[in-house]
Amino acid sequence: MNAQKLQATISGYGLTAATLYGAVNPETGALLIARSVEQDLPRKGTEFLKVGTPGMLDCQIIFKPEFIGDAIEAWRQLKSTGRLQMEASATRHDPDSRIQVAKVRTTGSVYEIAPDVTSGQIAALAMAWLALQQVSHNRAAGFSAAVAASVYRVQPFGYFN
């Protein structure tokens, strides 16, 4: 399967907005954060799946503040399984230094983001969250197609099983 190109444009954290570009393999969730730009570049066509903060125009997916916990978990999962790569031009937006333990439960640690996080670091988290959303969507679509194929088998005379 072809990689899905991603764009995350985030504002409202730190002093400036940030845009990151990357790609995800929708089957494995492997994420490459390829580059960072100072401003949102105009996109040509619809080859990019764009995620942004509420109020931004031209976004297919809105990344809300309540998604940050799931985004941290997605980031940690991709990183721990070796499915996350950042090119040198984007490493200044690595959110690792802003992820902190909020509390420890018997089921594991609960993480939160530090108050001094930047828009670029949130953009990186949003891309990780979106990468795992793409995997879930891909698996659900494949499962639905398999179920539909097994339930609605057409019999030789046109009857359904």
Q: What is the pLDDT along the chain (161 residues), one digit of tens a residue?
A: 588 999 998 988 988 889 999 999 988 889 999 998 866 555 555 567 888 888 776 778 889 999 999 999 999 999 999 999 999 989 999 999 999 998 998 988 889 999 999 999 999 999 999 999 888 766 665 544 444 444 444 444 444 44
Structural domains in the chain plus CATH codes: 4-150 (3.30.420)
What is the pTM assigned to this prediction? 0.80
What pLDDT, on a 0 to 100 scale, did the predictor assign at position 50?
A: 85
DSSP class of residue 104 equals E
